[in-house]
Structure 1
């Protein structure tokens, strides 16, 4: 969520690859294929009543289909035929999709699908010292509807271009306001991970959604995923108009906890989960956390001491984390060079608990019990305690879900291949947005930790 780009084998290789990917323009053939598919982006109503969306992804020559139950796949032209590959993998899943002419219907697994009419308004509005690009998407008509403002995670791409919720949710009766976070897409400013600035932008986004929607806006609130789990509640604390907050796969803990808890999972997976080893690893993450949070100005003496004590021990090479493994295995000069390139103004010192303890706006937190990007064990404990203490927080966990509330299977190398969004997750979000309650149980494999249903 914070420095995930630093997880590759070498820091410089990661940056070179990322720079090349962003700099490269689509090849003419890819651009042509993109043009053929782009006009089909939107929501469709299948003849059995289900909602299906076709949305853009980072591959310019492909689309992603999604169903409300969480099934998903990538569509791309291959050897003159439209092929679906399941989840986020490259294996054909046998799902048959036929696209007609632009603006016409589709056929999905033998079911005819007609385009869902939506009311769409594009806008530009003022954030905290920046101009932000946004879009309000409502179900067609004049009825009052609930509206959710999408709060970015750490991604650096355009939410207006790529957020699928702007099609899926309105097809289910919920309006969506999407915007490009500062420094991304069509928004000005510098990309940042300063939660305070980003929360101010989110406040402005909600106000713009209300302005555009006018009398059609009913309940309105925020949905923040991943890093957005720090930002959305903070924005709500500044926004009396917000009537709900939803957080998906976020942390009710500080930023440094993400790396620390990932290291614990690394060591447990490698067979080094005993208490003594985890205490030693905590010394390491305390040192690397000090280096990261001070932008390399402190922590090197502490890291040198930890290296001297433990570098030769067998568990040392199993440490990965968000950044600890890389910081521990590279020189000071290498790390400092990368810090200069990744000047994101991360809110390292942000503690979410004061906001969560005092925020009166009802919240729904949905966690993955098998999340290795943002390990949720401590967050589950904290949210359950807040719920028992009477705070208006409902917390739910999908026990086998990874980050993004995604299900997965392991490949031959033991690496996770995400296959779908967990069944029940999207329906749960919609129920809470519409009514502020979870009255549609069961939601797949979800289990409630605490709070009102």
Structure 2
């Protein structure tokens, strides 16, 4: 843009576009009259006064809220490579133009079924700020072959293949190379880092607990938001644990426990508020319905996955960026566990972003208690970029940062923690 900042324009929902800036501001663009696109703030319907117009694609010009801009050109290489078992995966390396050596972030997806090559905006935001990105469709999604899975070991081996491919494509331009995993990628990225050499690992709104523990933590967090006490949460955990047994046993056990808990508590005032990460998907259905409908969700998820066993042996520098108000993957227990690893001298930096939830978005509460996202947390993308670059220029928005032990002194503030 004319002021030297970068702006990303990406496909949105229902023919709309979405703009994003490094400071965390974002909006939805809807096509209007005279080829002018009108913006609404965040994911709200509230106009933000930013009208946008484009030149033809060949010229690559834009006017955004009255400011002119010009498309940034990248060095882009499309590639096919082989993941675990020889599965064909498709990826893309995007580097800033030129011949200089740059850091490269291999982007590891979450649990989504969509194409990361289409949807992951970091593949452009990083190169626009001097950091290369390698993005790929995980197996069973987008243009990649194979069957969709949530087997972290298989996905970690695919990530190892991806980092190898990224280094080979970049050649002499490859500087620091590392992983960035979002959500479920927070389990996959550290595991992959134990299987190949990387210079750093970044995790966005991921967890250091198991998927079963995630549901329990989500049940508790959500009930506390509604004012329920621990005694109530203990009762709700009977439901969550029964559902967890059903899923972790591949739909063979836990039905009697679930029926008993439902019969015991279905008339309690808090029963309607039990959600969790996956409990709400199972709770309304009978045992026969769960057995039938559940088959579509058996993705080889390691329900009892021991994150801490992986993290204890990982000596690669890590940055964990967590949302304080994450309702899907509550960060409290994860942050406690990461701080215990910091105290043992492991190179882990944590950043807790206040009033941020899953996806590192801030939100406003609706009258019915639901959340409507307004923007990304300030400092989140800048922190991601700087960590990849090997720099550190705190503060990053309102994030609360905890450093490895010993904490860096004043002379190290420009270095990666």
**TM norm structure 2:** 0.94
1:331 aligns with 2:286: yes
Q: CA offsets, 1:92-147, max 9 Å, x none?
A: 22112121111321111222111112100000000112100100000000000000
> Corresponding residue for 1:374?
329
Contact 1:166/1:176 (8 A) holds in 2:
yes
**More off after superposition, 418-427 vs 307-316:** 307-316
Deviation at 1:228, TM superposition (A): 0.4
> Corresponding residue for 1:78?
32
1:232 aligns with 2:189: yes
> Corresponding residue for 2:400?
447
Q: Distance in 1 between matches of 2:283 and 2:362?
A: 31
Q: Distance in 2 between matches of 1:417 and 1:317?
A: 21
Question: 5+ residue gaps in structure 2?
Answer: 408-416
1:49 aligns with 2:1: no
Contact 1:133/1:180 (8 A) holds in 2:
yes
**More off after superposition, 114-123 vs 441-450:** 441-450
1:391 aligns with 2:335: no
Q: Distance in 1 between matches of 2:367 and 2:280?
A: 24
Contact 2:18/2:26 (8 A) holds in 1:
yes
Runs of 4+ off more than 4 Å: none
> Corresponding residue for 2:76?
120
Contact 1:69/1:427 (8 A) holds in 2:
yes
1:91 aligns with 2:63: no
> Pick from 286, 290, 297: which aligns with 1:342?
297
1:194 aligns with 2:151: yes
Q: Which secondary structure does the structure 1 equivalent of 2:48 belong to?
A: coil
Q: Which secondary structure does the structure 1 equivalent of 2:146 belong to?
A: coil
1:267 aligns with 2:223: yes
Contact 1:383/1:450 (8 A) holds in 2:
no
Q: Which secondary structure does the structure 2 equivalent of 1:120 belong to?
A: strand
Deviation at 1:343, TM superposition (A): 2.6
1:63 aligns with 2:17: yes
Contact 1:146/1:434 (8 A) holds in 2:
yes
**More off after superposition, 131-140 vs 47-56:** 47-56
**More off after superposition, 173-182 vs 308-317:** 308-317
Q: Which secondary structure does the structure 2 equivalent of 1:96 belong to?
A: strand
**More off after superposition, 439-448 vs 278-287:** 278-287
1:158 aligns with 2:115: yes
Contact 2:49/2:65 (8 A) holds in 1:
no
Deviation at 1:327, TM superposition (A): 2.4
Q: Distance in 2 between matches of 1:325 and 1:150?
A: 30
Q: Distance in 2 between matches of 1:413 and 1:312?
A: 22
For these two proteins, the number of residue pairs brought into alignment is 403
1:145 aligns with 2:99: no
**More off after superposition, 65-74 vs 263-272:** 263-272
**Distance change (3 Å), C-alpha of 1:313 and 1:146:** same
**TM norm structure 1:** 0.86
Q: Which secondary structure does the structure 2 equivalent of 1:287 belong to?
A: helix
Deviation at 1:328, TM superposition (A): 2.9
Q: CA offsets, 1:398-426, max 9 Å, x none?
A: 02111111111122332111111111000
> Pick from 211, 214, 221: which aligns with 1:255?
211
Q: Distance in 2 between matches of 1:398 and 1:253?
A: 19
**More off after superposition, 185-194 vs 277-286:** 277-286
> Corresponding residue for 2:265?
310
> Pick from 169, 172, 179: which aligns with 1:222?
179
Matches within 5 A, 1:276-291: 276-291=231-246
> Corresponding residue for 1:431?
386
Q: Distance in 2 between matches of 1:276 and 1:162?
A: 42
Contact 1:103/1:115 (8 A) holds in 2:
no
Deviation at 1:58, TM superposition (A): 4.2
